Structure 1
Amino acid sequence: MAALAIGAAPIRRDAQIETALRQHVETLASDDFGGREPGTEGETKTLRYLARQWFDIGMESGTNDPAHGWFAPVDLVEREPLSFRASFTRGRKRLILPEDAGLVVTSGIRSLVENAPVLFVGHATGRVPPRTDLAGRIALMLDSGRGEDGADGRVERLLDGGAAAVVTVLDGKRTIEDVIARRRRAGYALAGERLGDEIEAFVSPGFAESLLASGAAPGALAGSPAHDLAALRREADGADFAARLLGVTGTLEATSRETRISTHNLIGKLEGRNSAAGAVLLVAHWDHFGQCAQPPAEDLICNGAIDNASGLAVVTETARLLSRGRTLDRDVYFLATTGEELGLLGALAFAENPPLPLDRIVAVFNVDSTGLAPAGQAVSVIGRGATPLDDGIAQVARMMKRKLAPGDGANAYMKRQDSWVFRQHDVPAVMVSSSYTDAARLEAFMDADYHRPSDEARKVQYGGMVDDVLMQAELVRFFADVRRYPGGAKTVRHTP
């Protein structure tokens, strides 16, 4: 009987944590919160709910700004593509780009490039042509299946190198319909951030063929250089390829509609014994997509239960555990970010206007999309090998008799969540979670429920979330203890 009584306390504790986690997720991911879209009534309900929970736990405001207790304003700019026109001229022949064969977008409100020479840059995977070659010219680039919408950095490098615009010739793996569906969506940035007026365009292979053929002299052989897309591809694949002018000029124009969105980060704090010793920061994003489907679909709301009502619940219950223990050496800040789904913008706003100097933050633990795994799973570290935190995390895992998943496969998700922003500001930041250990389970969520109305509370596994609460609490206790973690090792190993 005595042995049973010893084990009963952790069992009751875990059951209480699970009950609280379930309540948070079912509330935050309910239709009543409308999908927690920034700038809506769903935001108001979300932040009021969280602030009430955090206040009752015993937190104080962490904004360190008397004018904005608890809620730190974040002003966003939404830019939605509105219209475009494009034409290309070779000699006396002018081709107008039809709307079903291409797309032109701008990062500004209105951008125009007129009668600019077209420079063929091939796959643009190697060294960028000299600025003297790119300046004032339109770079024509082959898609090559090497990246989605410039995600591999080629477009950015060409624009930074001086190109007036970049036109991508699609390769058939991505259709123009795919690009239009993706790039017609609104883009977001922090208000005041200079977006520039850069132009990016996409054209179908068929239009590119017409453009090249328009310059063919009477009697020219099919496949002759510059008059056939296949020949252009072969040229780009050559070991001695060099960018060259095509004898074509282009005019590109694009406009956008701009909307301002006022939203907020929520910041709380459990004060430590020695604020001068620095702080530990726990983060979870509160935002999601609101209504993300259209009739006749029956379910219209992206409730975001796993992504990321689960993370908010874990951070909240971690705070509750910490508040019931002894006062820690370091301050512990709690941050619920806005705009994560729009490009990690809430985390960026915090980093650019922090309530304490960033170099005083010794460790950041982000919690995002937990609730995928049952209890008892191994723990993954997203950011493993990239910060000075690894040894301390390993010590905590051993103390808790938790197994760390081998390898760094979970690092595939490093750039897709808020801790990445802190890493770019030289603050050690990771995610530690059991939900990223089983790759098959994680991919099944991504394929079936991620950013869809089906991400609902009924699918959440709370056993793994309880494990994550206990792990987060011990991590904070370790890194907030100046004897166990003196700090000062602020070097962050950047991972490209």
Structure 2
Amino acid sequence: MKHVSSPSLAAASFVGRALAGVAALALIGTTPALAQKSKYDGPLPKGTALAPPKDDADVAPAISVDTMKAVTKRLSADDFEGRGPSTAVEPKVLDYIIAQFKAAGLQPGNHGQWLQEVPTVEMTAGNFTPMTVTGGKTPLSFKVGADFVAASWRVTPKTRIENSDLVFVGYGINAPELGWNDYAGIDMHGKTAVILVNDPDYEAKDETGPFKGRRMTYYGRWTYKFEEAARQGATAAIIVHDTFPAAYGWNVVNSSWTGSQYSVQKANDGMDQTMANGWVQLPVAQAIFKDAGKDFAALSAAAKVKGFHAVPLGLKISYGFDNTIRRSSSHNVIGILPGSQRPDEVVLYSAHWDHLGHCTPDATGDGICNGAVDNATGVAALTALAAANVKAGPAARSQVFIALTLEESGLLGSEYYAQNPVYPLDHTVGGVNMDALLPAPRSRSYSMTGGDKSDLTDLFRDVLADKGLSEVPEDHSERGGYYRSDHFSFAKRGVPMFDIARSPDLFDGGVAAGEKIGEDYNQHHYHAPSDEYSDSWNWAGIQEDAEMYYALGRAMADSDWWPNWRKGDEFRAIRDKACAAATGGCHP
């Protein structure tokens, strides 16, 4: 689960996920479900309002709190050893999840099998040579860790960057829908891209601007910048770290990049990627630009303006390191409730089952990171939702329930599935992702992580209205929370995905109580041995979260509506292209 520090119950501002829903006072079984035939039966005319029908004959089945309690307690037990993927305990964890899926009434979801193997590569860099820059006024040399970090996504024992030309490419963005291309007119083969973090209008006070102002878009994420540099043929890519636009300090970059790096195994061993990706401290970048006779501040300002052209620095960079390589595999668990009318169209429900396994012992000597909240609760909700949907009877479309692995290692389970989908993505309507549902009382409101990115927002708002809840803005939208959990692996390939978060404004205690709960978990239990199950948990919020997920998912599954991304969204063109080429399935 992604971590963003802030004492809030909202996903992006607390620990990155929907934390507890709202609920216990609304009795289980009293929320209206969406009718088999409703206004969602699309495609919907532009501007059509979406609202769940209030038909007393269509009542949502009970979402079993007892099931969620039992699954959470079992998955976070000490003998599951923190659910480390690719460890000796994984088969026992998988057997338990499969047993729960069977008990819920699901069928095996991977062509008659329950499991999808996820092959991974672990690479650990070492034996670094200094990063040297030549060709300027004075030769420069920088130290790994203190000045720069780097890793390779190519599975190779040695990485050597030798006399590669440095090119400043601004924010490293190629966004055709915005008419923006920082790489226009330059051949990056053999060259190293120097890239600014975030996107050009991150300093805005509101969300107005080509890149949604202060709200980070995918173009601002470091993952995108490295991917785009590879597509442009660059030999290497370096991001300039700056704490404010990055939203975290150099210590976070250093700690994240100096250990093992994980990736999904590919047939080409990642040879379509750059030879190396990395970061440099801001003063390092400033020194390099000065050595080139360039003004870093002036060029950074120029990069914020549409029409910016990449600037060769007239310098060459060299550095290298060795890679220790370990190949392994883990597994996703996939179950399906086949649809009654259009079984080839699917709605996804996802939650990651993995956690950290054995970790640094606390003061009591406890060295198991049990991951009760993160994310045994998500798998528990996934199981209870499966049972509820089976009880309600098949929806028009198929519903696929996936317990994903390796989220904590970089969303690798969802990334592998999205690269190798069991059900074609152009036949995947959309979905909901569940990650870290914090025990707490119910709240008055939810937020849509990522903001108003897709047609799913219309459904979200009407489900809230139906439940008497309100919408609040995402907290800390500049941190790019939408791009940090498993739903993103599907979203970046065009599949609209829900990521919702509960606000700290609790019916019982208000904002102060909600922030206290969030801060306590964030500061004392997140990724720590103390993230353990307790019989004293308040399940009201988790209960309502599950009812929200049920309403949102079932609405998509019981309709023939195909939600799309808003015009101008970074994922709209991907979905439109897929739908235009689809045989059956989605339509633009």
**TM-score normalised to structure 2 length:** 0.66
- Worse overlay, 432-441 or 413-422: 432-441
Task: Give distance in 2, aligned partners of 1:8 and 1:296.
Answer: 41
Query: Where does residue 128 of structure 1 map in the other structure?
Result: 182
SS of the aligned residue for 2:222 comes to coil
Task: Say if 1:369 and 1:435, in contact at 8 Å, map to a contact too.
Answer: no
Q: 1:472 aligns with which of 539, 549, 555?
A: 549
Task: Say if 2:198 and 2:221, in contact at 8 Å, map to a contact too.
Answer: no
Task: Say if 1:396 and 1:478, in contact at 8 Å, map to a contact too.
Answer: no
Task: Say if 1:38 and 1:263, in contact at 8 Å, map to a contact too.
Answer: yes
Query: Where does residue 253 of structure 1 map in the other structure?
Result: 320
1:87 aligned to 2:135?
no
Query: Where does residue 432 of structure 2 map in the other structure?
Result: 365
> For 1:170-319, what aligned pairs fall within 5 Å after superposition?
179-192=253-266, 195=270, 196-202=273-279, 226=291, 232-234=295-297, 236=299, 248-276=315-343, 278-293=345-360, 298-319=365-386
SS of the aligned residue for 2:120 comes to strand
Determine which structure has more spread, i.e. the larger CA radius of gyration. Answer: 1
After superposition, the C-alpha distances for 1:65-91 in whole angstroms (9 at most, x for unaligned) are 4xxx21111111122212321334458
Q: 2:122 aligns with which of 78, 85, 92?
A: 78
Query: Where does residue 215 of structure 1 map in the other structure?
Result: none
- Worse overlay, 90-99 or 331-340: 90-99
Q: 1:428 aligns with which of 479, 489, 496?
A: 496
Task: Quote how far apart the aligned CAs of 1:389 are.
Answer: 3.4
Task: Quote how far apart the aligned CAs of 1:423 are.
Answer: 2.2
Task: Say if 2:464 and 2:471, in contact at 8 Å, map to a contact too.
Answer: no
The residue identity in structure 1 corresponding to 2:132 is: S
Task: Quote how far apart the aligned CAs of 1:370 are.
Answer: 1.4
Task: Quote how far apart the aligned CAs of 1:150 are.
Answer: 6.8
Q: Percent identity?
A: 27
Task: Give distance in 2, aligned partners of 1:413 and 1:144.
Answer: 13
Query: Where does residue 57 of structure 2 map in the other structure?
Result: none
Task: Give distance in 2, aligned partners of 1:89 and 1:476.
Answer: 56
Task: Quote how far apart the aligned CAs of 1:486 are.
Answer: 2.9
Query: Where does residue 481 of structure 2 map in the other structure?
Result: 413
The residue identity in structure 2 corresponding to 1:128 is: D
Task: Quote how far apart the aligned CAs of 1:265 are.
Answer: 0.9
Task: Give distance in 1, aligned partners of 2:334 and 2:370.
Answer: 23
SS of the aligned residue for 1:75 comes to strand
Query: Where does residue 565 of structure 2 map in the other structure?
Result: 492
1:111 aligned to 2:193?
no
Task: Give distance in 2, aligned partners of 1:144 and 1:429.
Answer: 23
User: For the aligned residues, what is the CA RMSD?
Assistant: 4.2
After superposition, the C-alpha distances for 1:169-221 in whole angstroms (9 at most, x for unaligned) are 66698887654322112222221165334223555678779879xxxxxxxxx
1:64 aligned to 2:107?
no
Task: Say if 1:370 and 1:433, in contact at 8 Å, map to a contact too.
Answer: no
Task: Quote how far apart the aligned CAs of 1:9 are.
Answer: 8.7
Q: 1:116 to 1:381 in 2, by over 3 A?
A: closer
Task: Say if 1:371 and 1:435, in contact at 8 Å, map to a contact too.
Answer: no
SS of the aligned residue for 1:457 comes to coil
Query: Where does residue 456 of structure 1 map in the other structure?
Result: 532
Task: Say if 1:21 and 1:462, in contact at 8 Å, map to a contact too.
Answer: no
Task: Quote how far apart the aligned CAs of 1:432 are.
Answer: 4.4
State the structure with bigger RCO (CA 8 A, min sep 6), 1 or 2.
Answer: 2
- 5+ residue gaps in structure 2? 1-25, 31-59, 174-179, 203-215, 506-510, 571-588
Q: 1:226 to 1:271 in 2, by over 3 A?
A: closer
- 5+ residue gaps in structure 1? 1-6, 213-224
- Worse overlay, 387-396 or 360-369: 387-396
**TM-score normalised to structure 1 length:** 0.77
Q: 1:132 to 1:26 in 2, by over 3 A?
A: same
Task: Give distance in 1, aligned partners of 2:554 and 2:192.
Answer: 55
